[in-house]
Structures are given as C-alpha cells and as structure tokens.
Copies of this chain bind each other. A is one copy, B any other.
Amino acid sequence: MKFNNRNIQIGRNVQLGTNVRIGDNCIIYDNVQIGDNSIITNDCVIGEPTGRYYHDENYINPATIIGANSMIRSHAIIYAGSVFGEGLMTGHRITVREGANFGINCLISTLADIQGNSNFGDYCRLYSNVHICEFSQLGNHVFVYPYTIFTNDPLPPSNHYKGPTIGDYTIVAVHSVVLPGVKIGENCLIGANSVVSRDIPDFSFAVGSPAKVQRDIRTISSKEAAGNHYPWMHRFERGMPWENIGFDNWVKK
C-alpha cells in the first residue's frame, strides 16, 4: 500500500531527486528541492508559504531544501525558506517555520515546534514536543529532551528578542526552560525541569529553578560501566558519526 500517488499536489519548480517517494495527501509547494532517496510519508506539507502568499499576487515562495536520504514522517508542516542537511529524520506532526537552518543528520521528533530563524549544527536531536524559539543557536550534537522550551522575550511582550545559544555536545533534559539570551556552554548537562536563567560554563551539570551549577559533569559516574558517563560521547554512539569506530578515532579523522 506504499505510495499510491493519491491526492498529492506538487507546485511549480519542485525538484525531486532520484528515488524520492511522496506519500498520499501530501502538498509540496513551489520551489521545494528534495534530495535523492528521501521519503516523505503521508499528509505532509513541504514548503508551506508564509502569510503574504494569501494576500500578495506577486508572492514568490522561498526555496526549501531537504537533503538527501531524509525521512519525514506523516503530518509534518515545513515552511518555505528552511534548509535541512542530508539525513534529516523526523517524527510525526512536526512544525518548522521559515528560516531554520539545520546541519546534517538531525532528528526532529513528534510534535516538535521549531519557530524558525534559527541555526542548528550537525547531529542535533530535538525530541518530542520541544519548542525552539526564533533566534536560537545550537551547536553540533546538541540533544534537547521532550517538552523543553527555548524563549526569546525577556520582558513579554517586547520587541527585544534574544534567543539562547547552546554549545556542542550539550544535553538539556526534559521539561526545562531556557530563558532569553542565555548561553549554555559546551559539554553541559541541564537536569530535568530546570529554568536556565544565567549563562552556564562548559562542562557543567546544572539543575533547578533557577538552574545552579552542581558539579563538573566529568565527575558523574556511569550507571552502565565503570568510570564516568560524561562527556557522553564515549558512552553513547547510536546514530552518531563515531558509531562503530569510537569517539576518539572519529575526532582524529
């Protein structure tokens, strides 16, 4: 029952790579490019136009680029004007607004709400129902766990937006809030249900509301093996570029 080409609509100047498959009831708007071997499952909207589309006869839909080998699960809404490196993987019902730039091999899970005008490095994992505000800057290998929110308005409502900045390899656990303009360094762990209101230095484990640095993450014992768990790259490799070769060997490359 795969790919019956039922009720699909494809706009103008859509470029589909070889072996791209589009599910039923999908809408692909103008100026979308989808890389080779990608799969768009049912009921997705790719290249959703911004509001001006409905009012301006001269509206031109910005280019949307989905890299090769991507897999977009059903009911995604991806706005025009976003760019995704190869190997994008999504859950269901994601929403990504315009101006989001993603590196390669990123994951965006079910119900994640990416507000656009933000940058994401390679291998980021945005889990279920995260909300990433405009003007956020995420490094590489950043993991944001479910229901975490990034915010950008320090005195709501205002016109003074400043998104958070998150360093490489940092983990933000579930149900946390990162306040406007906060910088979290590299290799940090933010504990569940935290509110991060101040900058956090590299290699910190911080938790609480407001989040306070508790210790150096390099002192947290593993629960799976002897030694410490963080930096996690020596303990976890599923889906990471160092899978099967180890982090140290990958870094040397």
Residues of A within 8 A of B (CB): 1-2, 4, 6-7, 9, 11-12, 21, 24-25, 27, 29-30, 39, 41-43, 45, 48, 51, 53-54, 71, 74-75, 77, 91-93, 95, 110-111, 113, 115, 128-129, 131, 143, 145-147, 149, 151, 154-160, 171, 173-175, 177, 179, 189, 192-193, 195, 209, 220, 222-224, 229-230, 232, 235-236, 238
Interface of A is mostly: loop
Inter-chain contact B24/A24, CB cutoff 8 Å: no
User: Considering the complex of A and B, which 7 residue pairs feature the smallest CB-CB distances, nearest first?
Assistant: A157-B236, A1-B11, A155-B229, A193-B195, A160-B224, A175-B177, A131-B146
14 further A-B pairs in the complex, CB-CB below 8 A; given A113-B128, A158-B229: A1-B30, A39-B54, A42-B45, A45-B74, A54-B71, A77-B93, A91-B95, A111-B111, A113-B129, A145-B151, A145-B156, A154-B223, A156-B173, A193-B195
Tallying the copies of this chain within the complex gives 3
Inter-chain contact B11/A236, CB cutoff 8 Å: no
Bound Cα distance from A245 to B39, whole angstroms: 51
Inter-chain contact B113/A222, CB cutoff 8 Å: no
Bound Cα distance from A115 to B93, whole angstroms: 14
Smallest CB gap from A93: residue in B: B93
Chain B contacts for A129, CB-based, 8 A: 113, 129, 131
Smallest CB gap from A208: residue in B: B209
Closest beta carbon of chain B to A227's beta carbon, Å? 12
